[in-house]
Structure 1
């Protein structure tokens, strides 16, 4: 039997992730059959087990991929804003808006919470650290009241994460998003120290 190259292994992994994202988004984690998923990807269950261990491992990898893409989107929002405070506000709001995106809502906010217990500790640390860096800059520029940046980042991240779960959990997501963004603006106004 021919030995598989690194490129072959990466292509197999990518194919499983792409197919799993579609299945998990369309049918949900519980209703996704590994036999159907691997058949759709043109692979065997052995390939899935080799790369991800099991169905739960595949879900964790899909969540990690979606989280990384979401982080890139949020970083771009901050980077392209006219000023740092506006960028921070838009980034927080965008995080809440993502709770209504079908793929993010179904896979990350519903299934990952139920199956994996939510975001991985590494993902949470990364989100808090990214927010902390932004807050340190805003505090140094006098745009946010002086406070411990990591404590502040943890509180804001926790609030956003819980609000996103709440938005995703109801049939009235649009209403919940409006209520959450109104509350977010109130919260952020309390931090802002206009020049």
Structure 2
């Protein structure tokens, strides 16, 4: 027999969500340094005590906001790359969708600009591995399993494409004309991926590194 959820659990979850949602808005608009916990509490309509019940402080709240933005991106892109149909086209559409996400203010400010500074570079990279890299690896795995890019080594290929996308995201966030930068990066990465498809016909070269005397 199913039991009803205690009302205090629902209230606690809704309070946490209100705090994170408010933090995403304020961190996006004002940045980490320009946002106070009092402002977040006011926006969420909760007490500061309620905030400290869920988070250790400002950095803990920022990390929750960071994960919320990343999870939203992951959910949206996963829906695209997991659609039935042409694996090649869905993979390319996932790539294009990611570059569109890089134009969104919350992703730019919280993930690309503030994340490495507030969380520290190593923690930020681990978080990126958890979200973005997993998605890239899934897409690469699908292309390999479908025979579209030949017998590529999955892990190195996913790492290389992830590096290209991460570098492209940073370039977009720093560009004067971000839309133009996004379009140019998209064309470049699609050209690289299309080149991988051509290797199916010629086979993978022997890339062993040798040293001469």
2:150 & 2:99 partners in 1: Cα distance? 23
1:10 Cα deviation (Å)?
Answer: 0.8
> Any stretches of 5+ residues in structure 1 without a counterpart?
none
1:70 Cα deviation (Å)?
Answer: 0.6
1:159 matched to 2:139? The reply is no
2:29 & 2:165 partners in 1: Cα distance? 25
Normalising by structure 2, we get a TM-score of 0.81
Conserved 8 A contact 1:28-1:106: yes
Conserved 8 A contact 1:84-1:138: yes
1:122 Cα deviation (Å)?
Answer: 4.6
CA deviation string 1:120-146 (max 9, x = no partner):
515414433333233223212210132
1:69 matched to 2:69? The reply is no
Conserved 8 A contact 1:99-1:164: yes
Question: 2:35 maps to what in 1?
Answer: 32
Conserved 8 A contact 2:71-2:131: no
Of the two, which has the highest radius of gyration?
2
Question: 1:182 maps to what in 2?
Answer: 187
Q: 1:134 to 1:99 in 2, by over 3 A?
A: closer
The range that moved more, 11-20 or 120-129, is 120-129
Supply the RMSD in Å over aligned alpha carbons: 2.2
CA deviation string 1:152-184 (max 9, x = no partner):
111111210121011012222122112211211
Q: 1:178 to 1:137 in 2, by over 3 A?
A: closer
Q: 1:138 to 1:181 in 2, by over 3 A?
A: same
Q: 1:131 to 1:64 in 2, by over 3 A?
A: same
Question: 1:18 maps to what in 2?
Answer: 21
Aligned length, in residue pairs: 193
Question: 1:128 maps to what in 2?
Answer: 133
Question: 2:206 maps to what in 1?
Answer: none
Conserved 8 A contact 1:110-1:169: no
Normalising by structure 1, we get a TM-score of 0.88
Q: 1:129 to 1:103 in 2, by over 3 A?
A: closer
Off by >6 Å, runs of 4+ in structure 1: none
1:45 Cα deviation (Å)?
Answer: 2.2
Residue 29 of structure 1: SS of its match in structure 2? coil
